Structure formats: structure tokens, C-alpha cells
Amino acid sequence: MNTITTAQAAQFLMEHDDFLILTHVRPDGDTIGCAAGLCHALRRAGKTAHVLENPGATSLFTGYLEGLTTPNGEGNRTVVSVDIAARSLFPDNAQVFLDRVDLAIDHHPSQEFFARATCLNSGKASCGEVVLEVVKEFTSLTPDIGRALYVALSTDCGCFQYSNTDAAAHRAAAELMETGFDPYPINRVHFRTKTFKRLKLEGLLAQGMELRDNGATALVFLTQRMIQELGADERDMDNISAFVGQVEGVKNGVTLKETAGGHVKISLRTDPGDLNASAVCALLGGGGHAAASGAMMKGTVEAVRQAVIDAIEQVRNG
Amino acid sequence: MNTITTAQAAQFLMEHDDFLILTHVRPDGDTIGCAAGLCHALRRAGKTAHVLENPGATSLFTGYLEGLTTPNGEGNRTVVSVDIAARSLFPDNAQVFLDRVDLAIDHHPSQEFFARATCLNSGKASCGEVVLEVVKEFTSLTPDIGRALYVALSTDCGCFQYSNTDAAAHRAAAELMETGFDPYPINRVHFRTKTFKRLKLEGLLAQGMELRDNGATALVFLTQRMIQELGADERDMDNISAFVGQVEGVKNGVTLKETAGGHVKISLRTDPGDLNASAVCALLGGGGHAAASGAMMKGTVEAVRQAVIDAIEQVRNG
């Protein structure tokens, strides 16, 4: 693997042109915000840059990419991925670039080093902060860059509420806010507003919630039947895995979401002092961070539920 | 009025001793956090300092004052108020100090200047940031000071989501976090935790929610049967009238809560540019502010629902 510093990443970007920026499958605020922020910064530095369209981007995020996307990578020569930790996280339309990524910018400890060069800072709460460090090496910040990277940072640390939030995250937020964009509408949309269907979905999750370990562990179940009866779409279910962790006394929250294809997506958020989420999900074929990890398994929700409970037991007793 | 700078406030504190710190009635995180942070800092500087007990402090906040309070002000000579804007906000047991406050530290533009000297910065999102500036003039920060002032800051800006959050608030948060306390448990308790019963209650409200006016008006219904079946108490229902306003697109949220005595409590939160809540509630025998009003009516939930809908129509068409 070839890891490079933020200064080296900036130098690489300045020595190249015609950029195509890739985001990960089921895109969240961090990958979208990073792509938008980097694209704005590269254009400001006089470069040609586009973000590859991500078909999975919901209306919550597509606005940040307005005027920045391209439907395909033709004619683009320099490929940069942002917030993509693994080959399995490339969207379908980005598969063609699997072995053609020139630079990966990331913050995941589980980074697979699929790119020719990787700028990784796993100490950062968000990839947005890594992109911020890179961007500052070659241009000054604008409100557009500030807004995009604020979306990346704030969504990945739950608006400064998650355990990954550190002093550096707050300092980065201050620096971004000083570019002059208005963060309030962003906070309102991403942290204070829910769709009607989302509220109904949360109601169903609350009613089906299973509490274990004297209330320290909670499991919620999101089935295809619930999704179809409500007519809920991806946006209604965005970041649904954070829901279960709200319950008073719950340290470890498990969300099991049945996919249309007969798989169950496991999402585990833990108090890392109590349980290492990454270790549990590794036993289930997945991975991630100590406080937030995931895995995907084939089978019924009931079977996967038992597998998750067993994996938690195994990590606790191991 | 005698306003003084943070440096002058620090000088005053260093020139005096035997401090009694006052908090406001219905104490929130800002007043409690300021009192605890200032008390820790004064003790660190070798002073004798106590916080006057506040009978209104709930279990959410009393922990921050452990070992710092005194039941009365006897023997204390220097009285300092924190986050108290007006004489009407003195708790009952602090009334005796109404004309004896030596120094008021505050951030409210509505400050009444009841003290001999006032250190006011109305540009700050929280009083905690004003106390931070004062404290740094006479001592270095410890984790105890950091934790207390972080509670003040974070609760007063809705964990960096409200529109009062600025770059300075994030910089203060970073500085406080660098003292080494763990902010995650604080964020969890104050911003991310709901009781299991509260979540179930919200689920029931969501399922019974009625949308009108193309989704601009939403009504939720909280019946005695729901409360009794869940065994929900006052804490589970705290601020429940804010729930309905979360729904995307809703400008005007109505919460109807059936009381044990056969009445229905009406709570109306509106976008005052769209609908004057006070005018609607005046028609129902109540009142309040343009953006938040209430009324109490005798009758069934269904009858009161119709009366509220009629009153909204009447105000819209009047």
C-alpha cells in the first residue's frame, strides 16, 4: 500500500486534471459532502472536475451535487474516491473503476488500500475533515466548500453528538462555518426534520423493539412487509440504525433490515467500552468501527437475529 | 448600570472570597453548568465558593452540582448570579439576594442590570461561553470545569443545532473538550436519550397523526387510554407538544392531550407567518404567543378536535 500525506495528496491533485470523484454505495452525508467539497475546491483551483452520479443518492443529498455530476466517467482521467473503505462499497456504475482509482481519501481504519495512493487519517471523525486538510493545501475555502464539508462532518458525527466527536471536529466545524454559509437549514433538514412515513416507521420499530441484557442491548426489526405497507423509500429509512440507540439505558443497538433480495442488513452501534462493534460484525462477515459496524447476511430476520445475538455473546465471552 | 469586561470580572473575583453563586428558576443546563464551572474554577483558585441549592433542579442536572451546593447563603459574602436575566427569575430561596448581587454574568439581551456589576456578552450562544472567558482570566481549565461549561454551552445551543450556534460556540466546545472530560455521556443523556415508554408513545402519536391542508397542518391525539396502557408518567410526556412539529412540511402542529378530569389540553405550535397560534387559541378560551399557544376545553377529544379545526379555519378566513 502506498499511503501519502495530505500535502502529498494536494500536490498530486495540482499535478493532474480532469477529475472523476467516486462516492460509496448507499451514499451518506460524508461521502456526498466530501465529493461536493472536493469538486468545488478543484474547480476553484482551475481544474476540470466531476462527481460520478450515484444512483443511490436520495433527495436529502442530491442538492449538494447540483451542477457537479457526470453520468459516466468517459473522458475523465484522474479518479479519486472519497470515504470509500472497501471494494465492496463501489456502486454498480463505478465498478469499472475498481482497479483505476488514482487517489483514495478516507478515514476508515478498515480501508482496503485499493487505490494507487491513499490519503488516510483514521483519527478523524469524518472523511470531510481529511478532505478539508487536503483542500486547504491548494486553495482557500468558499461558502460552497464550507457547506459541503460541514454536511460531511456534521452528518458523520451525528451533529456533534456521537462518541467520535472530538475537539478537532469542533475546530473543523468552526473553520467551515467561518466561510459564511448558513448551517441552520442544514441542521434542520438533517437533524430536526422527519418525513411522515419515517415517524410511522419509528413507531413500528418502537413497538417491536426487543430489550436484552437488562436493557443494555436493544434490537429492532425492519421487515420488507413494514416497508411495503408504509410505502417507505430509502429517504424514509436513512440512518435508521441510529434510532435504537436513543432508548434510555441502551448501550448496544442492533438494527436488522430485511432487503428485497432475501438478505438482512445488520447494523450495530455500541458503547465501545462495553462492546466492540467491529469485532462482532467481523464474526458476521462485515466490519467497520469499534462504535459502529455493519454486515450483510443471507437468511430470515429470525435466523440473522440469532446469529447476531450469538456473535455478541462470543465477543463478550472471548 | 455598571457593565464590566471579562478581565474586570476576573479581577473582581480574585479580589473577593466566600462566594455564593445563584442560578435561575426552572434551571436549565446553561445556568447549572455555569454555576458548577464557576464554582470549580473559584475553588481551584483557592477561594471558598458554593452554589445556592435550587429546588427546581431535576435529576438531569443535580449531578453536576454534587459537592458544590449550600442550602442557604449564610456566611457567604460575595454573591454572583449566572445566566439570570431578570429579577422575576430568582428562585424563591434566592429572593433574599435580589438586591445583594455583587456580580451578574450573563448573555441575555434582556438583562435587567439588577447587580452592582454586570459582565454581559449578548453575542454569545450560551452564558457558559461568557463564564469560560472570565474563568480563563484567573485559572487554567480542568476536566471538571470543562464538563460543566460544556453542559452549559451544548444544552443552550441544542447540541450545535439551533440557529444561535456560531463558529465561536464550536471553538469554545473544542477548548472545553481539550480539558479531557468525556462529552459522549453528556450528549447521550441530554440529546439522544428517550425513555422506552416515550418512544412507544411517540409511535402511537405518529400512527394516529392526521395531516390537513396538504400536509401544512398536523394533529396528534394523546388519550388517557394510551397513557394508562403504557403506564407513561410526566417525564415520558415532557415537551410532547414539540413532537408533531418534526414532520417534514408541517407548519402548524396541534397536540390534543386528554386529561384525567375529562378536559382536553390543546397545544398549538405554528409558523407565525402562516397562522397566528394566539388568535386560534383565543377563540378556544386560551392564549399565548404567535408561534406557541394553548387552551383547555371540556369535552371529548373528537369534539375538541373539531373545535380546533373550526377555529383554525375561522382565523385563516378572517
Q: Do B10 and B38 fall into the same domain?
A: yes
**What's the Cα-to-Cα distance from B88 to each of B35, B91, B94, B112, rounded to whole Å?**
19, 8, 11, 10
Q: Do A46 and A171 fall into the same domain?
A: yes
Q: Do B52 and B121 fall into the same domain?
A: yes
The residue assigned the cell 452554589 is: B51
Does the pTM of the predicted model rise above 0.95?
no
Q: Do A256 and A238 fall into the same domain?
A: yes
Q: Do A141 and A225 fall into the same domain?
A: no
Separation between Cα atoms, residue A244 and residue A252, nearest integer Å: 9
- Which residue among B166, B183, B215 sits closest to A177, beta carbon to beta carbon? B166
Q: Is residue B1 part of a domain?
A: no
Domain count, chain A: 2
Q: Which of residues 92-111 of A touch B (CB under 8 A)?
A: none
Cβ–Cβ under 8 Å, residues A164 and A291? yes
Which residues of chain B have a CB within 8 Å of the CB of A171?
Answer: 170-171, 174
Residues in chain B: 318
ipTM of this complex prediction, to 2 decimal places: 0.84
Structural domain range at position A296: 196-316
Q: Is residue A238 part of a domain?
A: yes
Q: Do A118 and A208 fall into the same domain?
A: no
Q: Annotate B305-317 with DSSP letters as a single string.
A: HHHHHHHHHHHHH
Q: Do A65 and A204 fall into the same domain?
A: no
Contact A199 B246 (CB under 8 A): yes
Q: Is residue A1 part of a domain?
A: no
pLDDT at A244: 94
Q: Is residue B290 part of a domain?
A: yes
Which residues of chain B have a CB within 8 Å of the CB of A162?
Answer: 184, 187
Q: Do A181 and A247 fall into the same domain?
A: no
Q: Which of B191, B207, B239 is the last residue of a domain?
A: B191
pLDDT at B112: 95
Contact A248 B171 (CB under 8 A): no
Q: Do B119 and B54 fall into the same domain?
A: yes
**What's the Cα-to-Cα distance from B45 to each of A27, B119, B310, rounded to whole Å?**
51, 20, 63
Domain holding B59: CATH number? 3.90.1640.10
Contact B196 A187 (CB under 8 A): no
**Does A206 lie at the interface with B, CB-CB under 8 angstroms?**
yes
- Which residue among B161, B187, B211 sits closest to A192, beta carbon to beta carbon? B161
Contact A248 B196 (CB under 8 A): yes
Using 50 as the pLDDT threshold, list the residues of chain A that sit under it: none
Q: Do B216 and B187 fall into the same domain?
A: no
**Residue from B286, B293, B301 nearest B224 by CA:** B301
Q: Is residue B294 part of a domain?
A: yes
Q: Which of B135, B159, B191 is the last residue of a domain?
A: B191
The whole-angstrom distance between A222's CA and the closest CA on chain B is 14
Mean pLDDT over each residue of chain A, to the nearest integer: 95
Say which residues have a Cβ less than 8 Å from residue A19's Cβ, sequence separation at least 6: A13, A39, A42, A47, A48, A49, A50, A76, A78, A79, A80
Contact B248 A194 (CB under 8 A): yes
pLDDT at B106: 97
**Residue from B14, B33, B13 nearest B23 by CA:** B33
Block means of pLDDT (10 residues each) for chain B, 318 residues, are 95 98 94 98 98 92 96 86 96 95 95 97 96 98 98 95 93 98 93 90 94 94 96 86 89 94 94 90 92 92 97 93
Which residues of chain A have a CB within 8 Å of the CB of B211?
Answer: 196
Q: Which of B138, B163, B191 is the last residue of a domain?
A: B191
Domain holding B266: CATH number? 3.10.310.30
The whole-angstrom distance between A288's CA and the closest CA on chain B is 20
**Residue from B115, B118, B150 nearest B132 by CA:** B150
Q: What is the CA radius of gyration of chain A?
A: 19
pLDDT at A238: 83
Q: Is residue B54 part of a domain?
A: yes
Q: Which of residues 218-247 of A touch B (CB under 8 A)?
A: 245-247
pLDDT at A188: 84
Q: Do B147 and B221 fall into the same domain?
A: no
Is the dihedral angle over the CA atoms B200, B204, B207, B213 positive or is it negative? Answer: negative
B129: Cα separation from own chain's centroid = 16
Which residues of chain B have a CB within 8 Å of the CB of A125?
Answer: none
Contact B206 A211 (CB under 8 A): no
Q: Is residue A25 part of a domain?
A: yes
Numbers of helices and strands, H then E, in chain B: 12, 12
pLDDT at A235: 83
Q: Is residue B286 part of a domain?
A: yes
**Residue from A62, A20, A192, A261 nearest B246 by CA:** A192
pLDDT at B245: 84
Q: Do B73 and B141 fall into the same domain?
A: yes
